[in-house]
Amino acid sequence: MPLILAIESSCDETAVAIVRGEPGRAAEVLASEVASQIDLHREFGGVVPELASRNHSLHLRPLVEQALRHAGADIREVDAFAATTGPGLASSLLIGSTAAKAMACASGKPFLGINHLEGHLLSPFIGLTAVPPHVALIVSGGHTLLLDVAGPGSYRKLGSTRDDAAGEAFDKVGKMLGLPYPGGPEIERAARTGNPAAFGFPRSMLNDPHLDFSFSGLKTAVLYTLQRESAPVPVADLAASFQQAVIEILVGKALKAVKRSGKRVLALSGGVSLNGALRAAFGNACAPRGIDLLTAPPGLCTDNAAMIAFAALLRHLAGEHSALVEDIHPNLPLV
């Protein structure tokens, strides 16, 4: 059964994974190692590219060795080496893709350059025997994307954000509320004790016929509310009301997309799909409509290499490989 080793280094997580699989069988994740740099970047309130790439190069080799150890595999058994080649930070992408190419070159095995967004999109299907036709909603720090998926590699864009990504809005609002980076999990925590109806924030574009998103008006509405409020600022209520607005926009647009596409499966992926309130709202919306909701396991929602290895495995099984001269693409689109 083919064994794939993949590296993900598009942003601030250095990750290495080893996945094994064959057609008609669920892929097995034998190792999925992540060296998070979140603590390193927290004091700057966001990702510092120079620091990120330097740490990728420091962590990568021990992480490859750790992944091989956890998988109980020898590097000579690996059938193909993969890496994220975009979208992401150029200096970070270069570290992982150069390392994967070097291993491919040294071992005479193929290299596969993988789109980070395809990794997220396919992550809910790791552990299943097939990727059925479905509607995909990718909600991450950099992207908010609705797609009609006929199968692996066959994607049609239905809608995307016209300004901030959903995760970016969480991070920016987290910063406004004085919460640590990244804001998403912090807002979710603060929102648990807050009233989601305390503030009537806008649900931008929710009732428009198109399937695009906009989160910058919502972010500005939170800012104006903060400027208007006399101290103390009710952080829990603001967080809960903001989170509720994001959830209603995402659920509303995704349901519209499912209805229009005629699909019966909705797959959620990306860091924001870790949000418990969001998952619950999607669950409540999908069940009565007979829509199958698929989400990635929690460890595979935020950036990881197992999703990259899985995307690479499907391509490897289809006989597709990349040239060793393939460049990185910081703005690589999925469709």
Check residue 184 for interaction with ligand KG4 (CB under 6 A). yes
Binding residues among 102-161 for Zn ion as defined by CB under 5 A:
140
Question: Where does residue 202 rank: exposed (0-12), middle (13-18), buried (19+ CB within 10 A)?
Answer: middle
Q: Is the peptide bond before 180 cis (omega within 30 degrees of 0)?
A: no
Q: What does each C-alpha distance from 196 to 201, 204, 244, 277, 281 come to in angstroms? A: 10, 17, 6, 11, 13
* Closer CB to Zn ion, 118 or 303, in the complex: 303
Binding residues among 259-278 for Zn ion as defined by CB under 5 A:
none
Check residue 303 for interaction with ligand KG4 (CB under 6 A). yes
Region near Zn ion per CB under 5 A, out of 39-47, 92-100, 166-174, 303-311: 303-311
Report, in Å, the least distance between residue 96 CB and ligand KG4: 14
- Fill in the amino acid letter for 324: L
Kindly tell me which residue out of 45, 127, 133, 185 binds ligand KG4, with binding defined by CB under 6 A: 185
Check residue 275 for interaction with ligand KG4 (CB under 6 A). yes
Check residue 97 for interaction with ligand KG4 (CB under 6 A). no
Sheet holding 144-151, edge to edge: 154-160, 144-151, 134-139, 265-269, 292-295
Please choose, from the candidates 19, 87, 98, the residue with its C-alpha nearest in 3D space to the C-alpha of residue 56: 98
* Bridge partners, 146 (sequence order): 137, 159
Region near ligand KG4 per CB under 6 A, out of 24-32, 57-65, 181-189, 327-335: 181-189
3-state secondary structure of 271: helix
Binding residues among 35-94 for ligand KG4 as defined by CB under 6 A:
none
Report, in Å, the least distance between residue 116 CB and Zn ion: 6
Q: How many whole angstroms separate alpha carbon 302 and alpha carbon 269? A: 8
* Closer CB to ligand KG4, 118 or 303, in the complex: 303
**Considering CB distances under 5 to 8 angstroms, the limit depending on partner class, which of Zn ion, ligand KG4, none binds residue 170?**
ligand KG4
Please choose, from the candidates 306, 320, 315, the residue with its C-alpha nearest in 3D space to the C-alpha of residue 18: 306
Report, in Å, the least distance between residue 183 CB and ligand KG4: 5
Q: Name the pairing type of β-strands 265-269 and 292-295.
A: parallel
Residues lying near ligand KG4 in the complex (CB under 6 A) are found at 140-142, 167, 170-171, 182-185, 188, 270-272, 274-275, 302-303
